[in-house]
Amino acid sequence: ADVFQSHEEDDRRVRRREKNRVAAQRSRKKQTQKADKLHEEYESLEQENTSLKREIGKLTDEMKHLSEVLKDHEKICPLLHCTMNFMTIPRPDALASCLPR
């Protein structure tokens, strides 16, 4: 009976070890997949970030350009003082009186 019992225990130990090995393998696989997914998401966010930075750069340049165009225009615009009056005294005829007839 003793021999039979120790043989059964060995069997159980082997089965348990195998079960643990399979579970550990599954766990590692899951961890690897999770890491791969996170890495893909990271790469995608990096690309998006780069393209957004590029877009911000373009928009900043455009804003600088438009600000300079506006400054140059303000120097020569005869309507400028009229529009300032128009802002302070909101009369519909204020701007109309400034416009060339």
Domain spans of the chain, in order of start: 1-81
User: Three-state DSSP class for 89?
Assistant: coil
d(CA 84, CA 72): 17
| Per-residue confidence band for 92, with pLDDT thresholds at 50, 70 and 90 | low
What is the b/e burial string over 11-31, where b = at least 16 CB atoms within 10 angstroms of the residue's CB?
A: eeeeeeeeeeeeeeeeeeeee
User: Three-state DSSP class for 99?
Assistant: coil
Please compute Rg for the chain using Cα positions. Answer: 38
**pLDDT per residue as tens digits for the range 18-37:** 999 999 999 999 999 999 99
More confident position, 85 or 48:
48
Rounded to two decimals, the pTM is: 0.52
Q: For residue 90, is pLDDT > 70?
A: no
Q: 55-59, 62-66, 74-78: which range is least confident on average?
A: 74-78
